[in-house]
Chains A and B, each alone.
Chain A
Amino acid sequence: MNDANQSGHAIPWFTDFAEGPLWYVAATVFVFGVLWRIVGLLALGRGEDKSVPKQSGMAGGIKAILLHSVPHGGFFTHTAFHVIAGYMFHIGLFALLFFAAPHVDFLRERVLGFGWTPLPDWAFIVAAQISFAGLILLWVRRVADPVIRRLKDAHDYIGSGLTFLVMLTGCFALQESRPVLAGIHMFTVDIWLIYFPFSRLMHAFTFLFSRYYTGAFYGRRGVTP
């Protein structure tokens, strides 16, 4: 994206803004917001458990992090729709996020200083389709399932809606001849990053701690639920 900028195309001010000042603001809010929320949670501390453990709590915590990444306990037949749609969406999203060629370039040039082999175009398209399909299936469930309808709040829609927009504008941005599209994509990414620490998107980080605490609690009892 930056290449386009430097190679002298007529870039609207908007793209400059989204890739420049707004990006720096967004990245800062994201990093500090995420840290603030995680440190804020962990700093609440836990009292020491003086019961005599049967097994290591720490081992239980790590087991729970792994175990809850896959269906277990015989529930798959009941949760198959959600689990499959969830996997489709998340795997597709990760593939796009870290292996789409423009992202690898961006991470190398603007964030990390190094890169890796990106996905070929056809794989990018497959990943995008799987991810969109997963997200749409999750939406269908969100609207159709009475339990989720009872639980939902606005953030469920804002979070997934913004993610959808980021993915959609990302696909348009592939037309590199139209740098403004890259600008629009970058703008949605910036908004998404700013929203992230204050939202349920945080589960991308909190899942580690939530599962760990439960695993540690049960692990002491010799159980990994």
Chain B
Amino acid sequence: MSDTTAPQTSAAPVDVPSAVRVMLDQMGANIATWLDSCLHCGQCAQACHFHEVSRDPRHSPAYKLKPLVKAYKRHKSPFAKLRTTLGFPAQDVTADDLREWQELIYDTCTMCGRCTVVCPMGIDTASLVGLTRTAMVAAGLGPPDLLATADRSAEVGSPLGMTPDTLEDRIEWLADDYEVDIPLDKDKARVLLTVSSIEAMKYPQSIVAMARILNHAGEDWTFSTKGYEATNFGMLSGKSDVAAKMLGRIVNAAESVGAELVIIPECGHAYGALRWTGAKILGRALPFAVQHITEYLADAKAAGKLKLKPFAESITYHDPCQVSRRGGATQAPRDILAGFAQDFREMAPTGNANWCCGGGGGVAAIESATDLRLKVFGIKMDQVAETGADTMVSACANCRQSLDAGKEHFGWDKDIASLVEIVADHLDE
């Protein structure tokens, strides 16, 4: 891993040509048009949680796009060749640019997509930052801790070191302790359930909760040791090879059990990675449907397969950006809560305009981003306080871990919980 720990010092070599090549290779009409269109109006800064807490103009979304804009203007803009021929080419990306922007591209963007809502040109900064991350990796840059996490997931199967054996042990232990049937490596199943290692290692009861619910709904399902890890740190870090490897494992597992449906657990980016970018990475349509666990629950509830006892405490729902705004499963958790949660209170703003937890996009795994991330949690505390709710539920283990870290740091007195676990605790059996 020496190649991933070396950068960050200003003396480290930076492979600018490779970075630019990676940028240009992905610069289709949509990307180029976005890069062409920014008005420098600065409104996006009002939407970004990092700018909101730091008030640092460098944290404004449009500013984060500078290296990519430079590459576009120099090499790809419709007038790039004309300018070069006439002898006044646009400035190219430099090693210093990439070094300076590493922090902006990784520590201060969770790829939450909120800035796109306010942008008059609708520029999709989240996608552009994701693209820039792949270029950073090609340059030999990137936060060592995040890159190491990605490499670990490629090597052992999971970012938190959960090997197939560990998974097997955990499942055995959980099935025994909680007296629940957790099928593993069934030959055939309609549904392949995947897991986020954050859940498996930090919130193992969430696995029990999912198993209970699927069993309650009478589902034919299984976990598979061939492909279980839903998180994709390859995608978050910009390591495209790791992203493809992680995805390939799930596809392989799903195909070998003949799954019609792959369920993504409470994890936001894992949903986006498989549901929305899986086919692109794989190069063909996915041979199965993909649902976030909340979508599955909402459907099961609508089909009358989920009998729930009412939940009385006051709760509010934190929309994970990659599930709601960037995933499109905004309504599902609300459908689950309707009629079930007796005192559900929406935050303001909410749904597709909700504030990010501050730890998405791999930022939770970047040590140097900790201070800023904790400040962002302040926004969430204020939002929840305004609702007066006692519990904030979410449907993303990554959000949950970031929120828990904030709660611990500030000694916050509200509860943070998982929607799936609450549902599992209220099954009417």
The answer to whether A52 touches B33 (Cβ under 8 A) is no
Q: With A51-B279, A150-B57, A150-B63 as known contacts, state yes or no: A73 contacts B352, CB within 8 Å.
A: yes
Q: Is A110 an interface residue (CB 8 A)?
A: no
Interface size band for B: 35 or more
A8 CB → nearest B CB, Å = 43
Partner of A52 from the list B60, B285, B352 (CB cut-off 8 Å) is B285
* Docked complex Cα distance between A211 and B37 (Å): 10
The answer to whether A50 touches B285 (Cβ under 8 A) is yes
A to B contact number (C-beta, < 8 Å)? 171
The answer to whether A75 touches B29 (Cβ under 8 A) is no
Q: Which residues of B contact A73 (CB under 8 A)?
A: 47, 117-118, 349, 352-353
Residue of A whose beta carbon sits closest to that of B331: A222
* Docked complex Cα distance between A108 and B25 (Å): 46
The answer to whether B289 touches A49 (Cβ under 8 A) is no
The answer to whether B276 touches A215 (Cβ under 8 A) is no
Q: Which of A185-225 contact B (CB under 8 A)?
A: 198, 200, 202-203, 206-207, 209-211, 213-215, 217-218, 220-223, 225
The answer to whether B121 touches A206 (Cβ under 8 A) is yes
Q: With A45-B28, A64-B122, A217-B127 as known contacts, state yes or no: A51 contacts B277, CB within 8 Å.
A: yes
* Docked complex Cα distance between A206 and B37 (Å): 6
* Docked complex Cα distance between A202 and B35 (Å): 13
Q: Is B27 an interface residue (CB 8 A)?
A: yes
Residue of A whose beta carbon sits closest to that of B349: A74
The answer to whether A43 touches B57 (Cβ under 8 A) is no
Q: Which residues of B contact A152 (CB under 8 A)?
A: 40
Q: Which residues of A contact B51 (CB under 8 A)?
A: 147
Contact with A along B132-165 (1 / 0, CB 8 A): 0000000000000000000000000000000000
Given contacts A44-B27, A75-B47, A210-B34, 12 further A-B contacts (CB under 8 A): A51-B279, A54-B328, A68-B122, A73-B349, A151-B62, A210-B36, A210-B37, A210-B123, A214-B116, A218-B116, A218-B326, A223-B328
Binding site for A on B (CB under 8 A): 27-30, 32-34, 36-43, 45-47, 51, 55, 57-58, 60, 62-63, 76-79, 113, 116-124, 127, 275-280, 284-286, 289, 324-328, 330, 348-349, 352-353
- 9 A-B pairs (CB sep. < 8 Å): A41-B29, A44-B27, A44-B32, A51-B278, A74-B353, A150-B58, A200-B39, A213-B124, A217-B127
Binding site for B on A (CB under 8 A): 36-37, 39-47, 49-52, 54, 64, 68, 72-75, 78-79, 82, 86, 145-153, 156, 198, 200, 202-203, 206-207, 209-211, 213-215, 217-218, 220-223, 225
